[in-house]
Amino acid sequence: MNNLDIKALPILLKSLLQRLSKYAVIISVIAVLLIYCFLVLRINMLSQHEPSETEVNDQLKTSNRLKIDQESIAKIEKLEDQNISVQSLFKNARDNPFSE
């Protein structure tokens, strides 16, 4: 066994596979469980990661804020006051923004 020859390698692998074939089910179950544990731990680690203040500030700098001029706001409020159904729509949206 000290002198490992390339030609003897397939024979050694074949005999090793024959010995391990008895335990194929156990080895595969353990492999699947190890992969599952790794995924659970990785998901847990990633879900608990909070962004730092610098990351938050960088994202805020790159995002464009929506700017509405006062004239448009006045027009929307005027139209809201004139139309009762739109007024109730705005009121419902303000009260519960997540309802459909």
pLDDT of residue 43: 95
**Helix%, strand%, coil% for the chain, nearest 5:** 75, 0, 25
pLDDT of residue 37: 98
Q: How large is the average pLDDT for residues 66-90?
A: 77
- Is residue 33 scored above 90 in pLDDT? yes
Place of tokens 């998901």: 43
Q: How large is the average pLDDT for residues 63-76?
A: 83
Under the banding of pLDDT at 50, 70 and 90, the label for residue 60 is confident
Rounded to an integer, what distance in angstroms lies between the CA atom of residue 79 and that of residue 72?
11
Residue 62, SS3?
helix
Global confidence as pTM: 0.43
pLDDT of residue 86: 62
The beta strands (E) that lie in the chain are given as: none
pLDDT of residue 58: 85
pLDDT of residue 38: 98
